[in-house]
A and B are shown apart, each in its own frame.
Chain A
Amino acid sequence: MNVVTQIATKPVAAARVGIGGPVGSGKTALVERLIPALQARGIDIAVITNDLVTAEDAERIRRSGLIDPERVSAVEAGACPHTVIREDPTLNIEAADALERRFPGVELILIESGGDNLASTFSRDLTDFWLFVIDVAGGDDIPRKRGPGPIRCDVLIINKTDLAPHVGVDLGRMHAEALTVRANRPVLLTNCRRGEGIDAVVAMIEKDVLFRA
């Protein structure tokens, strides 16, 4: 077998996309929206949740009916949600490797972190691309605080946009400030409850992670 044939026939590892952010910002809701949207585009996916105290997020996704429950793995975070995705992502890497072995055609693995603070980032050994989810109700000053999470992620997502007028947030200004502190790197707006803005997130994953036109 020549080199070209070897490369052509070698199974391609699944892309790994991290989803981090504070507790309650909408990470699980985003995963629940992304699953059917990605599946509708024919993308073979699996999910890993990093549960802080309970298996709540994993169970929620397993029971959602959106995905085969066998394709959802839970990793306990040992009271350190940032450790499991940053300093020591080994358990997540093993969980992702196990999903790839069990489902050889899987193309994309979503890795949802446990809720953490704005300093939480993903190891590049674990993910190829990562999203950081904040929400308007958490305060419009979050981008200005310049935490490593909102600054260094590949895409910052501002969720719960529908709540902006109810919590006194100027969404336009928050969006503009987020773009400024990120030097105009991507900032997307979503309302996961209604599915608004999800298409843009999926389009970005397709283009920048899966390299589909």
Chain B
Amino acid sequence: MFDALTALALCQYGDSAYPAGGFAFSWGVEGLAADGLLKGAADLDELIGEHLEARWSTMDRPLLRRAFRAADLEAVAVIDRLADVATPSAPMRDGSRRAGRALLGVSARLGHAKSQAYRAMLDDNPRLGHLPVVQAVVYRDAGLSLEAAELVSGWTLVNGLASAAVRLGIIGHVEAQGSLIAARGQLAMLVAELCPDELRPSSFTPLIDIAISRNPSRHVRMFTT
């Protein structure tokens, strides 16, 4: 499916150590754990599944695909605005933008032209910079195919969730690998499914959305989301 250079690029961009601020986002793991709804590996596997099926594949993936195929950066910005209005939770919107802008910043500093140009556009547009849209710009800039970009997008989400659970002491390092192996199969299955171009981005992850929305009001928290 991928040649050696692309496979290595996937390893680099999908690594949890890739410096794009991912370590600061738990995407609901911290909040659900604080509310007693996430207690171990089984709960984490369920959460990863919900994220992948009810958010990533129906929201992030179609946004990424549209942005990846956009004719120019103005068209990318239109999709970015769609991401903004389709995300009702303010902390979720803020988290998505912060994560996206951090990723874009690294790509721009690496000298990638489209990333630099889009980053300049964001200076005057505080509502833009959502993660799946930026992923499209950055991974296209890095020479990845759309299929490869989708995989990195899904994998960095999974990796971030498992990593946050380890750092919060919810699961151990071996359990985390078990969760990642299970998620690999699920992600592979999802990307094998068709994603029609006309699919309107949507999500239905109420517990996750509530957990993230409650995060800013928690006195004790370590993650942005």
Residues of A within 8 A of B (CB): 52-54, 75-80, 83-84, 87-91, 93-94, 97, 101
Contact = CB atoms under 8 A, between A and B. Distances in A.
A77 B24 contact: yes
A97 B105 contact: yes
Contacts, number: 64
A95 to B, nearest CB: 9
Interface of B: 17, 19-26, 98, 101-103, 105-106, 123, 164, 167-168, 219-224
Contact of A77 (B20, B26, B222): B222
B105 A78 contact: no
Contacts of A79: 164, 167-168, 222-223
A93 B103 CA distance: 11
Contacts of B21: 88, 90-91, 94
Given A53-B220, A53-B221, 16 more contacts: A52-B222, A53-B222, A54-B220, A76-B222, A76-B223, A77-B24, A77-B222, A78-B25, A78-B26, A79-B168, A84-B24, A90-B105, A91-B24, A93-B102, A94-B102, A97-B105
A78 to B, nearest CB: 4
Contacts of B98: 91, 94
Contacts of A101: 123
B20 A88 contact: yes
Nearest to B129: A94
B123 A78 contact: no
A55 B25 CA distance: 16
Nearest to B222: A79
A89 B223 contact: no
Contacts of A89: 19
Contact of A91 (B17, B102, B123, B220): B102
A54 B218 CA distance: 9
Contacts of B167: 78-80
